[in-house]
Amino acid sequence: MGLFKWIAGGLLAKGAHNKFNPPQVTVPNGIQMVGLKARGLNDYTIKYKRENSNVTEQFTVSRNCKSMSGGWEFYWS
């Protein structure tokens, strides 16, 4: 039982680290970031919308991603 508690504690600590250390995001021109939410142990979901639009879109980024096409850049701590 002690091994399972140790593993569960490690997973909870990793999840907390992911939640409290989000990436800094550089957003392309003409786009407004609406939300950034931790998802799992290494992923973040980013919600955004284009200026003068009510439609939101989203994508998921992991910690090993530095940039995406269109001008998105991610800086990890």
Higher per-residue confidence, 27 vs 12: 27
Query: What is the count of structural domains for the chain?
Result: 1
Domain span including residue 48:
2-75
> Residue 50: what pLDDT?
93
- pTM beyond 0.85: no
Nearest-CA neighbor of 42 among 59, 57, 24, 61?
61
Q: What is the DSSP string of 5-28?
A: HHHHHHHHHHHHHHHHSPPEEEPP
Average pLDDT, the chain: 86
Query: How large is the average pLDDT for residues 51-66?
Result: 92
3 has pLDDT over 90: no
pLDDT digit string, tens, across residues 32-49: 999 999 887 788 999 999
